[in-house]
Structure 1
Amino acid sequence: MSTDSADSADSAALRSFFDAQASEIAHNYGRGRAVVAVDGAVGSTEFGRELVAALVRAGHASVFASIDDFVTPRTDLVGARQTASEYYEQRYDYATFRRVLIDPFRLGGSTGFVVAAFDEAASRSIEPVWRTAPPDAILVVAGPFLARREMRGTFNYTIYLETPQRSRDVVLDEALDHYAGVAEPRFTATAIVDTTNPDLPRRVFADSC
């Protein structure tokens, strides 16, 4: 098989995977508002955007958001190294996440919601841009720690991304190990996806080795 043919086959397989995932979600949550989590630190943004595109291809309104746009301002700790536990507990502003995104999104109707609150690179709050969506829209949220105990009940459907790849942040890697131990996200997810090869994700099961 030529390189071009192999690339075409991989692209078709990738599209087929996401179309199947979108079809399952839309079948179960196609009426009213629903919120889907893509739980992972490596590749979750790309995965979430592909899922949104597949939902749109299926004719279903979908909105993407990243938990990384809801970080807690850390200006008071500039230069200080957080422990893994501190990173896990303090990294994200879940109160704002719920207040401006999750709660108003679930209200539906003409209620506005915000998909980003803080620009970490610029170290500043983002001026709120209030959006609306159709009554049957699906919100896809990507990022780490989404299956932590205090977040349970937030999502209708959770996809846990499993990969041997690590982030380039040592503290984040340690926090992810902490998270895996205290929250056991693999065993609470609706779906587990192996993204060892991000171009060919595959569905696996909780009792798989």
Structure 2
Amino acid sequence: CWKKEELEKLIHICHKNNITIISDEIHSDLIRNNHQHTSMLSLTDKVISCFSPSKTFNLAGMSTSFIVIPDKEMREKYLKTLHGLHIAHGNLFGPVATEIAYGQGEEWYIQVWDYLQNNIDYAIDFCKKHIPTIDVVAPEATYLLWLDCRKISTSHEVLQDIFVNKLKLGLNNGIDFGNAGEGFMRMNVACPRKTLEIAMNKLKGINAFATNN
């Protein structure tokens, strides 16, 4: 999670250089332990903040999101562009699903987030016990784990080959998120525990590649 002081520094840099801030806050409901989400909306009006029920309530199939733009001039420019591209109209079911999710979904949200946090703890503990070749970056938020695989290889091509062709696991390659992701893989644990257990036992096979690359 970004700290308030970090966001304020980022805002200062962006405003000084006339850079538009687009803040993706789609995971803002999924915060772990004692960490806290600070919305850009609480710090500046010059921001485009993006939200969606798709992550929190598993409603990606609704293809629905919403954007908050406090500044009137920025909002009018955004709407003009949206209408110009003819993409201003959503589907009929998305808004209804969104309203119900946020208005009546608290009990479901509490239960599913507790379940997913247990999945996170399980995966981290499994790696510590059985996969010494991988260091897991414990997340402050979300159900996405970053696996530090640099003891295996720092090459994203080598890691992709091992994970997909050898271990039969389809994870996100860290390099897809920028050069700093080289040597990392991203794992989604938002799934039934049985599925996660199968994946973790497959992942254990990566130990065999520790000295080969």
Fold shared per TM-score above 0.5 = no
Higher RCO (C-alpha under 8 Å, 6+ residues apart) = 1
TM-score (ref. length: structure 1): 0.31
Larger radius of gyration: 2
Going by fraction, where is helix more abundant, 1 or 2?
Answer: 2
Going by fraction, where is strand more abundant, 1 or 2?
Answer: 1
